[in-house]
Chains A and B, each alone.
Chain A
Amino acid sequence: MNLNTQFVFDSKLKRNLIIGMVVGALCLVWSAIGDDAFYTRFWSNYLHNAVFFTGIAFTAMFFLSGQITAFAGWMVVIKRLWEAMSLFMLVGIGLLLVVVIGVWGHLHHLYHWNMPGITDPSSPIYDKVIAGKAGFLNPVFFTVGTVGFLAIWYFWAYKLRQNSLAQDKYETPSFDYYKRERKWAASFLPLGGFLSTVFLWLLVMSIDPHWYSTMFAWYSTVSLFLGGLALFILLVLYLKAKGYLEYVTRDHLHDLGKYLFGISIFWTYLWFDQFMLIWYGNIGEETIYFKERMENYPILFWGNLVFNFVTPFFVLMRNSTKRKVGTMFFAALIVFLGHWLDFFYMIKPGVRLAAQEAIELSEGAHHSSLDGQLKHHGKDLTQHVPHALAAVGSASAAEQGHHSTAPSKEHQESKETQTSNHPTSADGHAPIEEHVTHASAAEQHHDGDKQENGHSSGFQLGYSLPGFQEIGVLIGFLSLFLFFFFRQLERAPLLPLRDPYLEESLHHTTGVYLEEEEADSVSAHH
């Protein structure tokens, strides 16, 4: 066995990945053609993939830190792959910087809380709920919580990598490395654990600014971790097929498979808990999130479970399937695509709703500063919103229905009515809360006027399901990720030869021996 393997990033692979990136860029541009006034499809595609692949890099770093902190020996042979993945956070800073610039320059409408005037009580589009969250949901905090946190994480990943490279220069395997490495790894765990919640609240959960879920950060981080793990398994299998990593045995694959299986069940637990707590609590502004998705995005909603729970659960349940290349490839591919879809499901419906609402609002508001912002987009918005005024009207009716059930709130809001003199805000902050109150109140009081709602949440490619453009953008971002990954992989030997746990990792065994592989297991271990 030749242990001093050096990965070579050959020109053919380079060319293919560059072609992939070009395809992705073209598809990104394609998704902007024929888009709405805010270029919602273009921006949501960009945000979806940028968050997903940056998040994968983060979870790779988190996993690596956990393993180093625990003195885990088994993964030393694949340590360099995790390192290479974690360094993609550098590119992630650049990718998310574009989203941050978009927030500051109001270039997109991914985040409804970023609409000018939404926290201003005198504005016709004033939203009391969002105004209450303005201390957190504002451009400054958004910048710090996304790009800023990412920069901190990257610094830790960079330090871990530098230590790992310095270890190669030792004469003999030494634990000195672990003394330094563990400080960085162990300190990253709370840092990554706590900051990632804010990171995902800001980037993903704040797309639905009225909605909140305490399970969300867990749920989405685990989703990212599974996406990263599945991609990692695919990369291990790819590198093995190319003739690298011959020392990665069935036992290593088995342990990766256990992670994929176990964490998939953990993901399901979180998915179900988030759903059940909200279903059981039955609070309007929480349930509307699931109501919208179950009614209008049933394929995404149930497909999510099929991809991310049913498939890994039944495919990876047996020992033998975790030790075979074919079944592991299948399961990892499904889980990778499944969690990409999971993020699609988390982002797209919310973004679509926010954009529709904003277009309606701006139409109903006749506000000068708002007109200025919309002219910026150079489109006549009236053609997109034939029912905008009807929507505002039905919203106020719904709001009145709401009043009768909540006397204390009515009192509060009638005060607001006195202070406000604008025609559309006479019903409090009806327009913004329209989709909430409409769904909960109108359901009981006037079921028939769903058409007047103005929200067209029917099937639409790019939102209800990924279209060609979305798949192209996925290929593009994946190529970018892999390009950077292979660049990093080529810069260091694939095997950290001076790692004190190398021998343990090379002789790693799970204690499972299946009859069909009995012969070569015995010869491999003895």
Chain B
Amino acid sequence: MSVESKKVLYGLYNDEEDLKHAVKVAREGHLDIMDVYTPFPVHGLDPILGLKESRLHILGFIYGSIGAIFGFLFMSWALAKDWPILFGGKPYWPVPSFIPITFELTVLFSAWGMTLTFYTICGMWPGVKAKILDNRISDDKFCIAFDITQAESRMVSGLEDFFKRTGASEVHEKII
């Protein structure tokens, strides 16, 4: 994510079906969509936009595995090797009682790992200002945005025409 500000042309739609149709038209016309904003997840939008499956969950599995191995080995080292303690007449290495904590650490590592990775990828560091195009995209509007920082005026009017043709209720320009 670049820090420089962008000039964005965006259109608002009232219905997700209109939005899906508009995205399809844009893709057929080889228009370079910057992003699409919706107030809720719209099923079937990803393949129309041509988005690839996220690989975040693969990392989640790796983080979880690290957590499981770390948790189990740490407990084994601490309670059986470094300072052996007998609990409730159980052996020095009571594997069943390690399982719940191993599970918890698996979840903890994979949740924190995935969250931090996600924030890093999205550039969501502490102190970052949110770039909001329009407040209503978290309420009832569906938005398609184009980056027109370097676009010629002929191109911009073409995009405005596209919004009109596909039934956008409003078209705005904004620098974010």
Contact = CB atoms under 8 A, between A and B. Distances in A.
Most central of B48, B53, B97 by chain A CB within 10 Å: B53
B99 A511 contact: no
B61 interface: yes
Interface string A494-515: 0000000000000001011111
B96 A515 contact: no
A515 B52 contact: yes
A526 B44 contact: yes
Contact of B89 (A276, A282, A514): A282
Nearest to A522: B47
A282 B87 CA distance: 13
Interface string A316-335: 01010000000000000000
A275 B43 contact: no
B99 A272 contact: yes
Contact of B61 (A317, A319, A518, A525): A317
A276 B24 CA distance: 55
A276 B47 contact: no
Given A282-B89, A514-B53, A275 B47 contact: no
5 contacts: A272-B99, A282-B88, A319-B53, A513-B47, A526-B44
A170 interface: no
Contacts of B18: none
Interface in B1-23: 20
B170 interface: no
A319 B90 CA distance: 41
A518 B43 contact: no
A279 interface: yes
B96 A275 contact: yes
A215 to B, nearest CB: 14
A272 B101 CA distance: 13
Interface in B79-107: 88-90, 96-97, 99-100
Given A319-B53, A511-B41, A522-B48, 14 more contacts: A272-B96, A275-B96, A280-B88, A280-B96, A280-B97, A509-B43, A509-B44, A511-B43, A511-B44, A511-B46, A512-B53, A513-B46, A518-B47, A522-B47
A521 interface: yes
The 10 closest A-B pairs by CB, nearest first: A513-B47, A511-B43, A509-B43, A276-B96, A518-B47, A522-B47, A525-B44, A279-B96, A513-B46, A521-B47
A335 to B, nearest CB: 21
Most central of B20, B24, B43 by chain A CB within 10 Å: B43
Interface of B: 20, 24, 41, 43-44, 46-48, 52-53, 61, 88-90, 96-97, 99-100
B94 to A, nearest CB: 9
Contacts of B99: 272, 276
Contacts of B47: 513, 518, 521-522
Contacts of A512: 53
A279 B96 CA distance: 8
Contacts of A275: 96
Contacts of A522: 47-48
Contacts of B48: 522
A267 B100 CA distance: 15
Contacts of A509: 43-44
Contacts of A272: 96, 99
Contacts of B53: 319, 512-515
Contacts of B89: 282
Interface string A263-285: 00000000010011001101000
A127 B117 CA distance: 62
Contacts of B41: 511
Nearest to A516: B53
Contacts of A319: 53
B20 to A, nearest CB: 8
A521 B20 CA distance: 14
A522 B48 CA distance: 7
Nearest to A525: B44
Nearest to B58: A318
A513 B45 CA distance: 10
